[in-house]
């Protein structure tokens, strides 16, 4: 199963002028198709930094959903960074021009048509809102920062290109709440679970409220998760801590 990643690009996110809504939507959209997000990265409008990140994920072969920075204003650098990362020139895409002309007519010129300039060889991602397309390059999919445009474009990307991956690996999650224990008191048990159940991923989420608790669990293939959670509950019981299944 390939790794899915996400870039959320824009100084406005990092400055707090706008709150990001993309990350939670990506997770939700992937999960509905039996897929998982492997990583996410926030980037400001810095061409060099964006290009460096894109080159790394292109070299890894990740499937990447990128949001923001594909406009034609001087503070948008994502298309140029994608071209730099791939070692390609920017050229005007005839299909993107046709979409913009169909939507705006003569008003496409001289400025709106700049949004049809993509890295050489890029493919289009149709925009159902205003027909200003996004683009894809080397399993990286570049969409606008506007959620009302980007989210249906993301769904189109997944449903068009990756339906064969949907629900191939059913990932489940189980956890218990352990009371009155500190994480340090359960580290040996956690290490035992990691060593004996390598197919699952362990997580430990402590909380200090009126009573100290730890949410302790695993996620992975269903059969392996069931075996691991059984070992966790037995270990917690032997350690003398009360617990409750979630």
CATH of the domain at 192: 3.30.70.260
Q: How far apart are CA 87 and CA 54, in angstroms?
A: 11
Question: At 240, which helix (H) or strand (E)?
Answer: none
CATH number, position 44: 3.40.980.10
Domain that holds residue 156: 4-165
Sign of CA dihedral 67, 71, 76, 82: positive
Same domain, 147 and 190: no
The domain boundary, picked from 122, 149, 165, lies at 165
User: Do β-strands 63-67 and 134-137 pair in parallel, antiparallel, or remain unpaired?
Assistant: unpaired
Tell me which DSSP letter residue 3 carries: P
Q: 165, 184, 201: which is the final residue of a domain?
A: 165
pLDDT of residue 6: 98
SS3 labels along 134-147:
EEEECCEEEECCCH
209 and 189 in a common domain:
yes
- Tell me what pLDDT residue 208 has: 85
Q: State residue 78's pLDDT score.
A: 98
My answer on whether omega of the bond before 86 falls inside 30° of 0, hence cis, is no
Q: Which residue(s) pair with 8 in the sheet?
A: 42, 67
Per residue of the chain (246 residues), what is the pLDDT tens digit? Answer: 899 999 999 999 999 999 999 999 999 999 999 999 999 999 999 999 999 999 999 999 999 999 999 999 999 999 999 999 999 999 999 999 999 999 999 999 999 999 999 999 999 999 999 999 999 999 999 999 999 999 999 999 999 999 999 998 888 999 999 999 999 999 999 999 999 999 999 999 999 888 899 999 999 988 999 999 999 999 999 999 999 999
Instruction: Give the end of a domain, one of 147, 165, 183.
Output: 165
C-beta atoms surrounding 159 within 10 Å: 11
Instruction: Say if residue 33 is in the same domain as residue 83.
Output: yes
Name the residue among 70, 127, 116, 109 with its Cα closest to residue 93: 116
Structural domain total, the chain: 2
Q: How far is CA 68 from its chain centroid?
A: 14
Same domain membership, residue 139 and residue 79: yes
144 and 224 together in one domain: no
């Amino acid at each position: 199963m390939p790794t899915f990643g996400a870039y959320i690009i824009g100084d406005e996110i990092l400055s707090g002028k706008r709150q990001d809504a993309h990350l939670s939507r990506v997770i939700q959209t992937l999960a509905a198709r039996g897929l998982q997000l492997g990583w996410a990265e926030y980037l400001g409008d810095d061409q060099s930094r964006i290009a460096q990140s894109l080159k790394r994920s292109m070299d890894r072969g990740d499937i990447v959903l990128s949001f923001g920075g594909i406009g034609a204003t001087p503070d948008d650098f994502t298309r140029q960074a994608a071209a730099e990362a791939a070692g390609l020139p920017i050229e005007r895409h005839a299909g993107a021009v046709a979409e913009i002309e169909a939507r705006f007519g003569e008003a496409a010129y001289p400025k709106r048509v700049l949004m049809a300039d993509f890295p050489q060889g890029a493919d289009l991602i149709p925009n159902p809102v205003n027909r200003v397309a996004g683009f894809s390059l080397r399993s990286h999919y570049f969409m606008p920062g506007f959620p009302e445009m980007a989210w249906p474009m993301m769904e189109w990307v997944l449903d068009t290109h990756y339906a064969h991956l949907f629900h191939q690996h059913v990932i489940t999650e189980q956890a218990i709440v352990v009371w009155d224990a500190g994480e340090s008191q359960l580290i040996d048990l956690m290490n035992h679970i990691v060593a004996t159940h390598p197919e699952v991923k362990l997580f430990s989420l402590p909380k200090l409220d009126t009573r100290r608790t730890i949410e302790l669990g695993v996620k992975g293939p269903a059969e392996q998760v069931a075996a691991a959670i059984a070992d966790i509950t037995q270990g917690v019981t032997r350690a003398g801590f009360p617990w409750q299944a979630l």
